[in-house]
Amino acid sequence: MLRMEDAPPRLRRSGIRLNGRQRAVGFMLLTALFILGIVLCSLLLGVESMAVQLEQRNLAPSWDHPFGTDWLGRDMFTRTVKGLALSMGVGLIAAGSSAVIAAVMGLAAATMGNTADRLISWLIDLFLSVPHLVTLILLAFVSGGGMKGIIIGVAFTHWPSLARVIRAEMLQLRTSEYVQISRRLGKSRWWVATRHMVPHLVPQLFVGLLLLFPHAILHEAGVTFVGLGLSPHQPAIGIILSESMRYLSTGMWWLALFPGLSLLLVVRAFDVLGGSLRAMLDPHRSRL
């Protein structure tokens, strides 16, 4: 039986297989271009299309209005793109804040002794035992809703899983030989944490941030959908979907279909981006 290694060079070239790292880079480029396209479209599209134009209301999708228009004549394509950009901005701030909390908690658990480790592990288990969507809604309500409430709610409910990963990584590094040598040489815990542990923490933190991003966007849209999120005057996806529920029974299906599908594509894009980056940084998966 002819193996690929025994085949002539021309045949081997025709049967090229990409390894895991090359596939990850390809997926990252495609998803990054897709996300960048949404941001650029949001910047280039003016607000004129979102103005009330009653003579163009309730129009089905067409070349002039790819996503149709709503009951006030506003272009749904412009509203959807603007809403996606707004959701990505809120998700970036919320996921970044949550990642910072996770990094601080994970480092503290691994470097500040057994008492701090037990306390932080108890906090992680406590937050993970409660459905974080319920906690998010409560925090958003207590914080007064709006963008501030969403950011606070997401930041304080999405850190435990990432903190557990960082804690496990730091505990493994704490027993490594070069860390033990530094401690025997009299280096402080802060010196060991900043010089030896933080450089290993940055890739994990970046991947965790990208994987938190889709959850932050979805939960922002969900809380806004029930009326506890962003202001109704902002073109957020949750508001667009909430408003469209009143008109689905009248046959205006495009008001919910295109914004909802766009939201799922963006969430999936960030999920693929984070998974591809994790596969690229993993030396075992990158060779597959």
Domain limits for position 151: 18-43+68-287
pLDDT class of 131 with cuts at 50, 70, 90: confident
User: For residue 5, is it within any domain?
Assistant: no
Contact 127, 102 (CB under 8 A): no
Contact 196, 163 (CB under 8 A): no
Q: Which of 226, 249, 250, 246 is nearest to 238 (CA)?
A: 226
Residue 74 in this model has a pLDDT that exceeds 80: yes
* Mean pLDDT across 79-98: 87
User: For residue 253, is it within any domain?
Assistant: yes
pLDDT at 1: 42
Q: Provide the percentage of residues in the chain whose pLDDT is more than 90.
A: 0
Helix or strand holding residue 245 (H, E): none
pLDDT at 15: 46
User: For residue 7, is it within any domain?
Assistant: no
User: For residue 164, is it within any domain?
Assistant: yes
pLDDT at 281: 64
Region of 123 (left: φ > 0; alpha: ψ -120 to 50; beta: rest) is alpha
Euclidean distance between CA atoms 41 and 59, whole angstroms: 22
Question: For the chain, what is the domain count?
Answer: 1
Euclidean distance between CA atoms 259 and 238, whole angstroms: 9
Contact 229, 236 (CB under 8 A): yes
* Mean pLDDT across 245-263: 85
User: For residue 50, is it within any domain?
Assistant: no
User: For residue 250, is it within any domain?
Assistant: yes
pLDDT class of 21 with cuts at 50, 70, 90: low
Higher-confidence position of 285 and 152: 152
Backbone angles phi, psi at 181, to 5 degrees: -65, -40
User: For residue 4, is it within any domain?
Assistant: no
Contact 223, 215 (CB under 8 A): no
The tens digit of pLDDT for each residue in 54-68 reads 788 888 888 888 888
- CATH number for the domain spanning 275: value is 1.10.3720.10
For the entire predicted model, the pTM comes to 0.76
What is the secondary structure of 159-189 as a DSSP string?
Answer: HHHHHHHHHHHHHHHHTSHHHHHHHHTT--H
User: For residue 181, is it within any domain?
Assistant: yes
pLDDT class of 11 with cuts at 50, 70, 90: very low
